[in-house]
Amino acid sequence: MADRYLSFTGTAPGRFLTHRLGLPRPAPLRRWSADRPDLGGSLLHLTAGQSALALAPVLARTGLGTDDTTGRPAAVVLDASGVRDVEGLSEVHAALHPVVRSVAASGRIVVLGAPPDPDDHHQAAAQQALEGFTRSLGKEAGRGITVNLVRLTDADAAESTLRFLLSPKSAYVSGQVIGTGPHRPAAPHDLDRPLAGRTALVTGAARGIGEAVAATLARDGADVVVLDVPAAESDACRVAERLGGVALPLDITAPDAGDRIAEALPDGIDVLVHNAGVTRDRRLVNMPADRWSSVLDVNLASVLRTTDALLAAGALKRGGRIVATASIAGIAGNAGQTNYGASKAGITGLVRSLAPRALAGHGVTVNAVAPGFIETKMTAAVPLLIREAGRRMNSLAQGGLPADVAETTAWLAHPASGAVNGQVVRVCGQSLLGA
């Protein structure tokens, strides 16, 4: 369903009324397209504190130039990794204070920090302060500008993350804190098709967000396997045919689902996307046991079972990626969704526990995306006032698109994203609840 309010605020009467009444004024977001693959402007690189990061070569590969004749950079990167005390935070203010207003619409501000040092409470306090600073700035920036914090120790290891955050692909990702480790995977041979020669399995891919994820991974070169329940086989086949992939009709809650996937794909899987999910909303006092158990089984238990089975069978190749789907409901909670919120919070627990062991034992990273209000057929059926609240209660004052979740998934699935592990990245426009 089209966001008519967003369209209205782009007109002269809409701008006048929203200004006079103090209503949200969402800005149209610049998303990735083949003819507009980058932000189309310059990058301003600033520093606070004494940094040891070799950023210049990495930033030069983002596609953003450094020559700016307009005075309105498309992106600003502030390297604050060397800030170690409260005095150093003054340099953060001094660096960004003069330039925030000049950032172009739908621009990017990325703050680079270091992991808090458990042996230096002054450094830990200053680096943790960057988190509150970044999230607050994200709620102030407006005009479709996103603000994120990346904690890193190695600029090269964080390159895929920086390329994502400094591109139109991250249009609905804001207010996030993303940690990267020291792992340095080899860059793909073809930057436009980084998943070429790799097999990606997407569950619940016959429609909605899953279909968008499958399409984006196919765009990036993956051989896509479209998995969905047998009842959706015709839709799964349609999607697979369009993407040049194959359909796999299978009930992911079946006890032997993992074994059947491994049998169907004897050459192994490079990317496993757990997208299948259901809702059975009702307040707890009115929720029968079957509505509880069906949601927990599809959204959480099946993810645990199939992941365990595929790892045990060696079906996930070294260098592989697991991307699960969490939700804002699992972070902030949602009335009428105790079952759904529990299942999605469980995904976060799975990711944080499994990620270090899967990397150490199998060479596989484990991350999750946590969508907020995404414009789908399901949210189009939500009552008007609740739907409008979902759209407006984030820093970008609008709903996201399935493509926003898909682009974030594709970044986590990227061969060069091996330094990103154990992360739960919210795709919510910086929801004002739980963010």
Q: What one-character DSSP code corresponds to residue 28?
A: P
What are the angstrom distances between the C-alpha of 142 and each of 125, 133, 170, 284, 392? 28, 15, 15, 37, 13
Using DSSP, state whether 1 is helix, strand or coil: coil
Catalytic residue among 164, 340, 373, 411: 340
On whether the CB atoms of residues 327 and 344 are closer than 8 A, the answer is: yes
Instruction: Scan for tokens 């089209």, then name that residue.
Output: 2
Q: What is the 3-state secondary structure (H, E, C) of 89-115?
A: HHHHHHHHCCCHHHCCCCCEEEEEECC
At position 368, the amino acid (one-letter code) is A
Q: Which residues contact 41 (CB under 8 A, 6 or more apart)?
A: 64, 65, 68, 70, 72, 73, 74, 75, 104, 107
User: Rounded to the nearest 10 degrees, what angle do helices 402-413 and 208-219 cross at?
Assistant: 50
Residue 340 annotated as catalytic: yes
At position 101, the amino acid (one-letter code) is R
Angstrom distance (rounded) from CA 258 to CA 304: 10
Q: Which residues contact 147 (CB under 8 A, 6 or more apart)?
A: 108, 109, 110, 111, 134, 135, 137, 138, 141, 174, 175
Q: What is the 3-state secondary structure (H, E, C) of 146-208?
A: EEEEEECCCCCCCHHHHHHHCCHHHCCCCCCEEECCCCCCCCCCCCCCCCCCCEEEEECCCCH
Backbone φ, ψ for residue 254 (5° rounding)? -60, 140
Which residues form the catalytic set?
340
